[in-house]
Amino acid sequence: MSITPFLRFKLVAPLFIVLLTLGCTREKPETTGLVGHYINRTFLEASRDSIPGMVGNYCHELNFVSKDSVLIFYGFEEAVLGYEKTGDKYLIKNALGDKDMSFFIDPYHNLILQDSSWTKLNVNSIFTKSYPADTQKWTFETELNKTLIAGSYTLFENNLPTSKQVTLSPDGRVDGLANFTNYELCFSGDCVGEVTPISNNITFTNSKDSSVVYAVKFGQKKRFKLYNIEKPEEDIKGEREIIDLAFDFR
């Protein structure tokens, strides 16, 4: 018995559909991994009215480097931990020693890290997506600079404006202040105790890698003043007292 063209089509068509479906599945594999940098926005906002080094937080930045690994920036150190999705939430494995820490992505694409039991605060930390330059490993310091100090200023002397203009760039560059080329705000680690009583402080460096630390007192609308502090004493770490006004930025 010969097979009619119509019957031949009925036999071949289902096989063609199966092969087409398999081909599409191979071309578009399903993935649940996260990608990119997330900055601790809760920490940044709290830093406006506090000393960054005294603000409770689990970490400053999360960088999802693969579908199951996240690079974590703690400020003075970093680590790579595994993570996995479970239901609507994710778990960072062994985030607290042998305990996991959970997070989820809210409807606004923010990452909500459920870290209140660690920070002892009443709210969890909100992380927002950040888009660093290709050369940046971390973006947190740039975002901190933007929040607290980056901008263009006029130097004041005796409460009067001068002709001196200073620019502090978000990436830590300085233009117009003595012979300084770079600056770094203290937000974590040993530098927190550099000034006594504990205060915000900033380190300026020049092209010869010579550095000077100043205490910082922030005012409204990003106005701030830098204060000279005592010279470091041998065998004593930090605890340098404020002496007098060095620069007035407005």
121-162, pLDDT tens digit by residue? 889 999 999 987 776 789 999 999 999 999 999 999 999 999
Q: Pairing relation of β-strands 99-105 and 89-96?
A: antiparallel
What pLDDT, on the 0 to 100 scale, is given for residue 149?
Answer: 96
- Indicate the range of 2-16, 109-123, 128-142, 213-227 predicted with least confidence: 2-16
What pLDDT, on the 0 to 100 scale, is given for residue 79?
Answer: 96
Q: Are 246 and 166 in contact (CB under 8 A)?
A: no
- Indicate the range of 9-18, 199-208, 233-242 predicted with least confidence: 9-18
Nearest to 144 by CA among 130, 125, 163: 130
Nearest to 149 by CA among 46, 249, 43, 243: 249
Q: Which residue has the tokens 């689990």?
A: 58
Q: Are 114 and 105 in contact (CB under 8 A)?
A: no
Q: Pairing relation of β-strands 240-249 and 195-196?
A: parallel
Predicted confidence (pLDDT) at residue 42 exceeds the cutoff of 60: yes
Predicted confidence (pLDDT) at residue 26 exceeds the cutoff of 50: no
Distance (Å, whole) CA 22 – CA 227: 69
Nearest to 52 by CA among 245, 180, 218, 248: 218
Predicted confidence (pLDDT) at residue 21 exceeds the cutoff of 60: no
Q: Which of 16-25, 52-61, 126-135 has the highest mean pLDDT?
A: 52-61
What pLDDT, on the 0 to 100 scale, is given for residue 137?
Answer: 81
Mean pLDDT (the chain, rounded): 88
Distance (Å, whole) CA 202 – CA 129: 26
What pLDDT, on the 0 to 100 scale, is given for residue 27?
Answer: 41
Distance (Å, whole) CA 198 – CA 50: 11
Q: What share of the chain is helix, strand, coil (3-state, %, to 5)?
A: 20, 40, 35
Q: 100-118: per-residue pLDDT in tens?
A: 999 999 999 999 999 998 8
Read off the pLDDT of each residue in 159-188 and give the average, rounded to a whole number.
Answer: 97
Predicted confidence (pLDDT) at residue 233 exceeds the cutoff of 50: yes
Read off the pLDDT of each residue in 224-233 and give the average, rounded to a whole number.
Answer: 95
Predicted confidence (pLDDT) at residue 215 exceeds the cutoff of 90: yes
